[in-house]
Amino acid sequence: MDYLEIKGGKKLKGEVVISGAKNAALPLLTSTLLSKTPVHISNIPDVADVKTLLQLLQNLGAKQTFENNKAIVDTSGVNSTCANYDIVRKMRASILTLGPLLTRFGHCEVSLPGGCAIGQRPIDLHLKALEQMGAVIDIRQGYIVATAPKALKGANILFDKITVTGSENIIMAAALAHGTSVLSNVAKEPEVVQLCEILNASGVPIKGIGTDELEIEGSCGKLLNFVDISVIPDRIEAGTYLCAGAITNSTITIKNVLSEHLKALLSKLAAMGFGIEKTSDSVTITPCGTILPVDIETIEYPGFPTDMQAQFMALCTQAEGTSLIDERLFENRFMHVSELSRMGADIKLTSHTATVYGATKLTGADVMATDLRASSALVLAALVAQGKTRIHRIYHLDRGYENLEGKLSLLGADIKRLSE
């Protein structure tokens, strides 16, 4: 099994090109099930989750090619509606096949995704919304068995909680439904917005894109003519590299980004004392004399993203003072705390709040990745720690970061991928 070996203490410099957003690419890939014609998607990150989802689409009977960050997916030959356990257990986002399969074929079987390291992650809101559209949902031997005997109908749906993939599943279901759907309390993440923009451009009239209320005029079962797609930049990868510059007190520039998607985390970096310069497609971070502590509460977009919580926690260990980090979305997204503590971090946990005592000298250690974003926090800590850090189980990292060690090496980090 691979591990990363990082020798800390090096300054970084130069530019890094940010890849397409994993969490935009995944729903866009499952939305190809709604297309009559092959769909051309560019700027797809070459990460494990994308490959897993392409494998799932292929298992359903789709034809797909994927090279140089470009995919062509043709779902005209799909001859199965069963997303089976051995793939879904590898990647929860497979649940994003539920809405498209059901709205196109009128029935499907999708394995329940189960929980994961960061929380129980129920999908009750996905299922409740589909039932309101006329679906009959049974749970049998760990599978969601969904049927829509009289096809899915447009409905007025209010989400009890804001759910990103829940919103995406229902937006895709509504795209081919019979009639108009009004979805309220919908997620406004940029990845959800891009899915709406693509469906709207492909013939599904959607009003309210970018707001928390969408009106979607279903095509009554007719498949769509998809436009070509270029995936938006990954705002979480972008934030992770900005934190790499911040934690090593270096000047680096991230390229191919949309700074309006980064507002919450840029404002926190500025509050910590870092310099931020923006252009239309790049952001440069410059060092500060003293890193100031900061209080963070994770919340839905455009608030501070939960997917950046672990990375900022690593950064806060270097602040001159105490920072409070409140994780409001997931009940167990502090798995990185014990690993950071093994490197010398001084962090106290109550139920959903971490108190990070700053100005700690981190030292290299053997640590273990537990989930995607926790593992990127360990990389950041290793960049500033004294000595060598070995990060194990980096298959977690490979799920969502394209060529991380290559990009960090280009910035001057001393990082190697080795095998146990």
Angle subtended at Cα 411 by Cα 407 and Cα 415, rounded to the nearest 5 degrees: 65
**Residue 306 interacts with ligand EPZ (CB under 6 A): yes or no:** yes
Closer residue to ligand EPZ, CB minimum distance, 174 or 372: 372
Contact window for ligand EPZ (CB under 6 A) among 141-149, 162-170, 200-208, 318-326:
162-170
Closer residue to ligand EPZ, CB minimum distance, 21 or 385: 21
16, 18, 21, 26: which one binds ligand EPZ (CB under 6 A): 26
If residue 229 lies in a helix (H) or strand (E), which one and from where to where?
strand 229-230
Contacts of 100 (CB under 8 A, 6+ apart): 30, 31, 33, 34, 172, 173
Q: Six-digit token pair at 26?
A: 């995944």
The answer to whether residues 37 and 226 touch, using CB atoms and an 8 Å cutoff, is yes
The answer to whether residues 288 and 273 touch, using CB atoms and an 8 Å cutoff, is yes
**Residue 237 interacts with ligand EPZ (CB under 6 A): yes or no:** no
Task: Report how far residue 280's alpha carbon sits from residue 46's, in angstroms, rounded to the nearest whole number.
Answer: 24
36, 40, 89, 121: which one binds ligand EPZ (CB under 6 A): 121
Handedness of CA 357, 360, 364, 365 (dihedral sign): negative
Smallest gap from Cβ 264 to ligand EPZ, in A, equals: 12
Closer residue to ligand EPZ, CB minimum distance, 124 or 131: 124
* Nearest-10 Cα torsion for 54, 60, 61, 65: 0
Smallest gap from Cβ 386 to ligand EPZ, in A, equals: 29
**Residue 161 interacts with ligand EPZ (CB under 6 A): yes or no:** yes
Task: Report how far residue 308's alpha carbon sits from residue 257's, in angstroms, rounded to the nearest whole number.
Answer: 16
**Residue 307 interacts with ligand EPZ (CB under 6 A): yes or no:** yes
45, 99, 154, 166: which one binds ligand EPZ (CB under 6 A): 166
**Residue 23 interacts with ligand EPZ (CB under 6 A): yes or no:** yes
Cα–Cα distance list, 260 to 232, 254, 273 (Å): 12, 14, 20
**Residue 125 interacts with ligand EPZ (CB under 6 A): yes or no:** yes
Q: Is residue 116 flagged as an active site residue? A: yes
Give phi and psi for 271, each to the nearest 5.
Answer: -65, -25
Closer residue to ligand EPZ, CB minimum distance, 255 or 328: 328
Which one from 82, 116, 220, 288 is the annotated catalytic residue?
A: 116
Contact window for ligand EPZ (CB under 6 A) among 121-129, 141-149, 380-388, 405-413:
121-129
Task: Report how far residue 253's alpha carbon sits from residue 319's, in angstroms, rounded to the nearest whole number.
Answer: 22
**Residue 122 interacts with ligand EPZ (CB under 6 A): yes or no:** yes
Contact window for ligand EPZ (CB under 6 A) among 52-60, 117-125, 215-223, 404-412:
117-125
**Residue 124 interacts with ligand EPZ (CB under 6 A): yes or no:** yes
Contacts of 53 (CB under 8 A, 6+ apart): 26, 29, 30, 91, 93, 94, 96
Residue with tokens 């279901």: 173
Give phi and psi for 140, each to the nearest 5.
Answer: -130, 125
Task: Report how far residue 249's alpha carbon sits from residue 11's, in angstroms, rounded to the nearest whole number.
Answer: 7
Which residues ranging from 381 to 420 are in contact with ligand EPZ (CB under 6 A)?
400
98, 164, 172, 229: which one binds ligand EPZ (CB under 6 A): 164
**Residue 173 interacts with ligand EPZ (CB under 6 A): yes or no:** no
209, 308, 329, 383: which one binds ligand EPZ (CB under 6 A): 329
**Residue 327 interacts with ligand EPZ (CB under 6 A): yes or no:** no
Residues that contact ligand EPZ, how many (by CB under 6 A): 22
Closer residue to ligand EPZ, CB minimum distance, 194 or 253: 194
x/- letters, 249..288, toward ligand EPZ (CB under 6 A)? ----------------------------------------
**What amino acid occupies position 188?**
K
Closer residue to ligand EPZ, CB minimum distance, 185 or 355: 185
Residues that bind ligand EPZ (CB under 6 A): 23, 26, 93, 119, 121-126, 161, 163-166, 306-307, 329-330, 372-373, 400
Residues annotated catalytic, as ranges:
116
